[in-house]
Amino acid sequence: MFSPLCRRLVPQRRARVRTSDNMASQQEQLTLHEAHLSGNSYKVRLTASLLGIRIHKLIDYNVLKQETRTPEYLARVNANGRLPVLQVGNDTFLPESNAACYYLADDPDSKANLIPRDRLEHARMLQWMFFEQYSHEPCIAVLRFWRTMVGVDNLTETQKAQIPGKEKQAAEVLDVMEHHLTGREWFVANHVSLADVVLFAYTHCLDESGLDISKWPAIERWVGRVEGLERYVKLAD
């Protein structure tokens, strides 16, 4: 065990070990394989911007044209055929948007503090990140994709039939967030964390999902708080 003295010297962000086969620091070239207007891709760019990390290259894919399902993409970038994927250097490909955000924020050279060091607060941050992927994204992001990207007229009958259910789920998810944010500034701890960043991506453009954010005033104020952060960048930037 390391001593209490040593523990006190550990900075508030966590220190991750770099091994010889993992020199993938921000000194290495970062490429983001993305769909530029997707919230999942935006999360990674927003995280990088808040951290002051430069993503050197953005490669945009057209999901509607199945560009992430080509044999080349599946073999080299992501066998799961999804976006975004953070590429570190030439050969390291990291899928899953929330894992990519975590990787960036976990940079031991970063001065920002998007990952709480406290054990319970860290678990609560992950709790909201899993909530985002399991409960939030499958209704709020899907409604946005259908309404704004595909267009309701182009949906299949099965998709159209799912809209009322997705709207009901979306309202429940937003009620949970509203309840949590009432009396709080941030989702976890007393500062912005990855929980806020990943939940912000699809929440700040609720109108594109066909939802009215003014029904959830604590969420609306929190959106303004994120937009006021130093180094904030917009989705379309």
Q: Rule CB under 8 A: is residue 236 a binding residue for a copy of itself?
A: no
- In the bound state with a copy of itself, the residue whose beta carbon lies nearer, of 45 and 136, is 136
- Told to check if 152 binds a copy of itself by CB under 8 A, we report no
For residues 171 and 148, give the distance between their C-alpha atoms in angstroms, rounded to a whole number: 19
Q: Both ends of the chain: CA-CA distance in Å?
A: 46
Q: Does 130 bind a copy of itself (CB under 8 A)?
A: yes
- Distance from C-alpha of 58 to C-alpha of 30, rounded to nearest angstrom: 9
Tell me the C-alpha distance between 97 and 86, whole Å: 8
How many residues touch a copy of itself (CB under 8 A)?
57
Q: Are 19 and 64 in contact (CB under 8 A)?
A: no
Output the smallest distance, CB 176 to a copy of itself, in A: 5
Contacts with a copy of itself, 69-98, as mask; x by CB under 8 A: ----------xx-x-----x---x-xxxxx
User: According to the 3-state scheme, what is the secondary structure of 44-91?
Assistant: HHHHHHHHCCCCCEEEECCHHHCCCCCHHHHHHCCCCCCCCEEEECCC
Residues 154-183 within binding reach of a copy of itself (CB under 8 A): 158, 161, 176, 179-180
Q: How far is the CB of 18 from a copy of itself (least distance, A)?
A: 6
Say how far apart CA 44 and CA 160 lie, in whole Å: 30
Query: Taking CB under 8 A as the rule, does residue 111 contact a copy of itself?
Result: no
Contact positions vs a copy of itself (CB under 8 A): 1-3, 6-7, 9-12, 14-19, 22, 24, 79-80, 82, 88, 92, 94-100, 102-103, 106-108, 117-124, 126-127, 129-131, 133-135, 137-138, 158, 161, 176, 179-180
